[in-house]
Structure formats: structure tokens, C-alpha cells
Amino acid sequence: MPEPQMRSGMVHRLTIYIFFFAAFVAVIFVRLWFLQVVQGPQYKALAEGNRIREISLEAQRGYILDRNEQKMVINRLALSVFIQPTEFDKLDDKQAKVEELAHLLEMNAEDITEKVQGADVQQHQPILIKKDVKPDVWFWIAERQVEYPWVSTVELPVRDYPAGEESRASHVLGYLGEISKSQLDQLKSKGYKLGDIVGTSGVEAYYESELRGDNGYQSVEVNAQGVPLREVEKVDPTPGHTLVLTIDRNVQQVAEKALSDAMALARTKSDTEGNPYRASAGAAVVLDPRNGEVIAMASEPSFNLKKFVGGIEQQEWDTLMNPANNYPLNNRVIVGLYPPGSTFKVVTALASLGEHFVTAGSPFYCNGVFNEGEFGDYPKTCWSIHSNIDFTNAIIQSCDTVFYSLGYQFYRNWSHVNPDWENRLQNYAKLLGLGTWTGIDLPDEQPGRVPTPQWKFDFNKGFPEYQSWYPGDTVNMAVGQGDMLVTPIQLADVYAAIANGGPFFKPHVGKSILSWQGDKLQDIPIEQLGDITNPTNPTGLSITPQELDVVQSALPGVVQGKGTAASTFQNFPLASIPVAGKTGTAEVAGKQTTAWFACYAPAYNAQYVVVVMIEEGGHGGAVAAPAARRILEQLFGLPATDFMSSGGD
């Protein structure tokens, strides 16, 4: 081969060699750059994870106090177990180790695996496995860190209740639970992570952001066996804010006892068929009508908050969820939906006065039967025969015949005179706040129901024979029956509006927020929901002070003379503390009657509204009114009396 060609070939081969060498160097360089610059922090964290263990320092949740700043919910330290993801990842026999830990903690191995797999291991954060571990188990693990370098033992704050408080105001206070996946999706941006404990019901849930503090952490250097050597860094947690409630723990205790006793009293009585009343559930609420503060709120059956500390046992949860136990977790004051019975007659009375159907002295006659117009063939009966009676006494004695007649008048005005009157009575109910949420600061409140022809048509879609609105629908609603449904808290607001002479307020159980050091940060604002004497409302309706005075003047008679709760209030100091009230006995298809009593006192300068309801409890005057009386005695510092068993409607 000629020398020039030979040299040319060598240059060509050298060029190719240099090209491949340069490419190889470039690949190495890019790879090193990627590892050091792009993935450097990650590998640094992994390396640190081999010797630095970060322990989460959970912040204490804020205390919950009653209106007098008496402790209702505080904290204590619970022995807790975590898994260290960086150490756990080194294990060859993960499943066997998980099963071993599960056996020690009396847990399911699948639950532990799910917690670990759901965690973001790249964050190297400890994964909470269980709180309130038995002391002997906790110390046994703590003393064997060489055997369990992937497990850490920490003391974490958990909820605690002063003696007796774990069963008091349970529905108001609420319980905590481990964050769910859906909650985590919503709260992850706020720093929440898998295994966190959050408010699930009551004010624990509603005021979660206030009660939850800011977590801290502690970095500890460990040796190859996972044994701690020294503290590297520590950031102390910041406790959550303190929540002061409007609840008075002493009144709350009496309200709960009075409600329980009323249910027991009901079970000593029998219905018209001779069957003892079941009195399966009940509710009681005390409201300050002047600002919407809830002084007490009781619901039965109830539950023990202590059962939820550290995680509720499955057997206990199944018991609470069993329909045979009548759903103890339901706060019937805000979620229970019931026909209000005769307690609704104040709405019909105000509507009839507002439309000038009646005056205070309008005469009526009750022979125990209502058979006007279409009701000639299907008469409706009154609970008694009242003979000649005026409108004021019809309220006092709860005469059904009078209110059937007024309901029928609303129907005839719509069907025969004015088509715009289709929802006239319903709009008066809405004027008083029925058929919608009160906005109380507790989760899961129900809006109740004010039935209308359109609602009935839509509700019975697919069943045309049930879609029409009949005279009986309006007549039934006039006495709080039919498809009308209210919650006890809504009814309390109705009577607050009457007691106040028009205005009524958003009920609330939160009073103020304090810092963990005790400094006031804010007061929970008072919000007016409406004013039944103000025509500038969505319904366009209003009640004049003079019309409202007729009902205000009648209600004190319910606890006196021939009133339906008069026997219950015998010997009560009505001269110094006049009580205005209304009994109710609501019929429910397939069930025994629901007993109601709604009242406020003092009648002419109201400080409190009290509403008591007993499911399948019989007559309101005989069962619910005695409980209300007992609560009033506590509110006004009067001696407690035994329940009285007599009463009327």
C-alpha cells in the first residue's frame, strides 16, 4: 500500500477512535452531572437516611373548654410505634418482620403493610403504626433497638377527657380518627400525611384547622445497628389553639340526664294499643335566643369518646354502626328529621294572623271532628273536644280542629281564589328559617323539609298517583304533620324568633379562639339569620309586632290553667319566671308518636330557648315537658323536682 494511503487510513481510524472516546467521556460526564446535580439531593438524603433518623414531634391539639373555661378536652402522652422507611427498606424479609410486629401490636399485618405502602418513602418520614401501645410491649420494643432498627418508639399526645367528660357532650365535641385517603387528597397541601389523626365529627372536625398545631421534628444520628448516638437537630412543635365553647358543662350534664330520664319515663307509659312506648332516641337543646349561643346539646343514644382514643376497636365500631342500636353517632339535634306536630302551630298561627284570617279573639267551635268541604267524607279528628274556643285558647289548648280549618283556608285561597298562593303557608315556614340549614358550626347538619306541590311532584316521579297536591297536604302541614320535617335546632330558632320579637340568629357552639398560651385571638361572630317582622326577606312576607304579640301572649298559657303542659309546671315559680311554651305529639307512619316540647323563659324577656324531643315517646306534655322543666330549673338555679307523669297533647 502506498505510504499516503496508509497514512490516510491511520488518520481515519484515529478520528473514529477519538470520536468514540469523546462520546464515551461525554456520556460519563452527563451521567455524573445527572447523579450529582439532578439526583444529588435524593442520594444525599438516602445517605443521610443511613445514619440520621428523623422523629416526628406531633403537636398537641388545642384544648376545648366550656363557656366558663372549664376543661372538657385536654391531652395526655400516648406510647406510640413508628416504622422508619429507610431502615425498613433494607430488610430482606419484610413480610415476616411485619407479621412479627403485627403480632406484638395486636394488629393485622395487612393494615401495617397498607400504611407503609401508602407512605411517601422518599420523604424518609417515620410512619405512625399505632398509638396507645400497651406499656409492656412499647418498652419491650424500645429496649431491643438492635433487633428492631426499623422501628422507633415515641410518646405522642392524644385526647384525654377530665373525669366524666368522655361521655358528656360527645356529639358536640366529636372524635378523632386516622386521616382517610379522600381527606388526605384535600389536606395534603396543608402538610397532612398518611397516618395523621384528624377531627372526624363535632367541633373536632369543624374547627380542625384551629385545633391542629404545627408539628416539629427531631433528627438523631444512629449507628449501623440503628441505636441513637446523638441529637443533630430539633424543632419543637407548636400546640394548636384553644377552643372555648358556648356550652355550659353543668347545664349540659343536667340536659343529658333529663333527656335520659324522659326516655325512661316514656317507657313506663303505653300507647292507645297498650304497647309501652319504645322511646328509642331523643334530643334536647338549649339556645340563647339573643345571640344564637348553644348552652347545651344532648342526643340519645350517645357514645363514649374515650373509645376512640388511639383508634377504636373494630368490635366497638361495629356496635356503633349496628342499626339495632339506633345509630349512637348521629347528633339528632342537627341531623334528626321529624314532623314537628303541634309545635308547628305557632307558624300556622303567625301565618293566619299575617293574612288576617284571625285575630286573638276569633271564635271557633270544636266538636272533636273537622269535616269541612272535601273532608266531609274523610273527617279528621281533634285530640279532644274543646267546644266554644277562641283563637288564643286554641293555641293554648292546641286545638287541632281550629288549625285544620286554618290550613284548609290557605288551600282554598290558592285553589279557588289566587294561584299565586300556591306556597303561601310554606313561605311563612321559610320566613321562620325552616326548610334550610341554620349554618350551625357542626358538620352534617340537615336542612329539614317544607313540602310544596312541586316537591311532591318531583319526589313521587314515577308514581303519578302520588304526585298531586291535595287539601289534606296543606291541612296536615298546618298541624305539623304530613311531609313536614324539622330538626330540633331549627325548631329552637323558630321559638327564638318569637321570643325575640322577630330576629333570630345562627346557632353556634364555638364562642372564642385562644392561643395555646391563653391569649384571645378572636370571638366567633354572631350572625343574624332573619327577622320575621322585616318584609325585606326572600319570601316577601312579614309579621307585624301586633300580630306576633298574639302568639307571644298565648304561649305562657300553655303551662298554666287548661294549657297542655300545665300539670307538668305545677309549683314552678311562674310568677317570677314565666315560661312560654308549646307541646307537640307528632304521628309517624309505622311508629309510635314523637313527643315534643318547645319553650322559652322568661316569657317576656327571654334568656333561654329549650327544645326537647323524644322519638316514639308519646305525648309532649307528659314526657318532653318534664325534661324541659328540669333543664329550666338548672338554668335559673331552682331546686330540682321529680318528673311529673301527667300531661296533655
With 80 as the cut, is the pLDDT of residue 237 above it? Answer: yes
Distance, CA of 626 to CA of 614 (rounded, Å): 12
Residue 624 lies in a domain: yes
Check whether 258 has a pLDDT greater than 60: yes
User: Please, are residues 381 and 367 in contact by the beta-carbon 8 Å criterion?
Assistant: no
pLDDT tens, residue by residue, 421-473: 999 999 999 999 999 999 999 999 999 999 999 999 999 999 999 999 999 99
- 648: pLDDT confidence band, cut at 50, 70 and 90? very low
Residue 275: per-residue pLDDT:
96
Can you tell me the mean pLDDT for 269-278?
95
Half-sphere exposure of 412 (CA within 13 A, CB side): 11
Confidence of residue 633 (pLDDT cuts 50, 70, 90): very high
Q: Residue 258: which of 625, 649, 646 has the closest Cα? A: 625
Give the mean pLDDT of 491-500: 98
Regarding predicted confidence, which is higher, 179 or 195?
A: 179
Is 48 among the domain residues? no
For residue 199, pLDDT beyond 50: yes
Q: Is residue 641 part of a domain?
A: no
Q: What is the mean pLDDT of residues 102-113?
A: 89
Cα separation, 623 vs 568, in Å, equals 9
DSSP state of 189: G
Whether 4 shows a pLDDT value over 80: the answer reads: no
- Residue 536 in this model has a pLDDT that exceeds 90: no
Report the run of H or E that residue 580 belongs to, with start and end: strand 580-586
Residue 314 binned pLDDT confidence (cut-offs 50, 70, 90): confident
Instruction: Assess whether 219 and 254 both reside in one domain.
Output: no
Judgement on whether residues 225 and 342 belong to the same structural domain of the protein: no
Give yes or no: residues 175 and 279 share one domain. Answer: no
Average pLDDT on 181-205 reads 87
Q: Within 13 A of 416's CA, how many CA atoms are on the CB side?
A: 8
| Residue 543 vs residue 153, higher pLDDT | 543
Between helix 345-354 and helix 400-412 the angle, nearest 10°, is 50
The answer to whether the CB of 250 falls within 8 A of the CB of 579 is no
Query: What pLDDT does residue 422 have?
Result: 93
Give the DSSP letter of residue 229: E
Q: Work out the pLDDT band at 310, boundaries 50, 70, 90.
A: confident
pLDDT of residue 23: 64
Same-domain check for residues 204 and 345 = no
Alpha-carbon distance 48 to 124, whole Å?
A: 10
Residues 229 and 255 in one domain: no
Pick the last residue of a domain from 245, 277, 294: 245
Q: What is d(CA 173, CA 65) in angstroms, rounded to the nearest whole number? A: 10
Do residue 118 and residue 174 come from a single domain? yes
Does residue 555 sit in helix, strand or coil? helix
Q: What SS3 string covers 51-112?
A: HEEEEEECCCCCCEECCCCCEEEEEEEEEEEEECHHHHCCCCCHHHHHHHHHHHHCCCHHHH
What angle do helix axes 400-412 and 471-478 make, rounded to 10 degrees? 140
pLDDT higher than threshold 50 for residue 532: yes
Alpha-carbon span 624 to 282, nearest angstrom: 9
Query: 490 lies in a domain?
Result: yes
pLDDT at 44: 55
- What domain range is 18 assigned to? 3-38
Q: Are residues 179 and 266 in the same domain?
A: no
Report how far residue 126's alpha carbon sits from residue 120's, in angstroms, rounded to the nearest whole number: 10
Which value, to the nearest 10 degrees, does the dihedral of the CA atoms of residues 466, 472, 477, 481 take?
A: -80
Does the residue 314 lie in any domain? no
* Domain identity same for 108 and 19: no
306 Cβ contact partners less than 8 Å away, ≥ 6 residues apart: 161, 166, 167
Answer positive or negative: Cα dihedral of 96, 99, 101, 104. negative
Domain closes at, from 245, 272, 297: 245
CATH of the domain at 59: 3.90.1310.10
Q: In the chain, how many domains are there?
A: 3
Check whether 174 has a pLDDT greater than 60: yes
> Is residue 646 one of the residues assigned to a domain?
no
Residues 513 and 579 both lie in one domain: yes
Q: What is the rounded CA–CA span in Å between residue 526 and residue 506?
A: 7
Contact between 178 and 187 (Cβ < 8 Å): no
Pair 11, 114 in one domain? no
280/487 Cα distance (integer angstroms): 17
Q: Is residue 640 in a domain?
A: no
Question: Which amino acid does the sequence have at 132?
Answer: D
User: What's the longest Cα–Cα distance across the chain?
Assistant: 141
Are residues 258 and 354 located together in one domain of the fold?
yes
User: Which phi and psi angles does 42 have, rounded to 5°?
Assistant: -65, -45
Q: What angle do CA 510, 335, 611 make, to 5 degrees?
A: 70
In sequence order, which residues have a C-beta less than 8 Å from that of residue 450 and are 6 or more positions away?
426, 429, 430, 434, 435, 484
Out of 392-396, 401-405, 538-542, pick the least confident. Answer: 538-542
Q: Are 273 and 592 in contact (CB under 8 A)?
A: no
pLDDT of residue 31: 62
pLDDT at position 111, please? 87
Answer yes or no: is pLDDT of 118 > 80: no
**pLDDT at residue 57 in the model:** 79
State the pLDDT confidence band at 46, using cuts at 50, 70 and 90.
very low
Within 10 angstroms of residue 536's Cβ, the number of other Cβ atoms is 7
pLDDT, tens digit, 9 for 90 and up, residues 340-391: 999 999 999 999 999 999 999 999 999 999 999 999 999 999 999 999 999 9
Report the pLDDT value the prediction gives residue 190, as an integer from 0 to 100: 84
Report phi then psi at 213, rounded to 5. -90, -165
Out of 26-30, 185-189, 403-407, 622-626, least confident range: 26-30
With vertex at residue 505, the alpha carbon angle to CA 501 and CA 506, rounded to the nearest 5 degrees, is: 160
Q: Above pLDDT 70, what percent of the chain?
A: 90
In a domain, residue 324? The reply is: no
Closest CA to 283 of 492, 430, 588, 477: 492
Q: What is the average per-residue pLDDT within 22-51?
A: 58
Look at residues 172, 149, 138, 142 and name the one whose alpha carbon lies nearest to residue 67.
172
Whether 70 and 246 have beta carbons less than 8 Å apart is answered as: no
User: Over 80: is that where the pLDDT of 34 sits?
Assistant: no
pTM, two decimals, is 0.86
Cis peptide bond prior to 602, omega within 30° of 0 = yes
Supply the pLDDT for residue 122. 46
353 and 285 in a single domain? The answer is yes
Q: What is the CATH number of the domain that holds 631?
A: 3.40.710.10
pLDDT of residue 390: 98
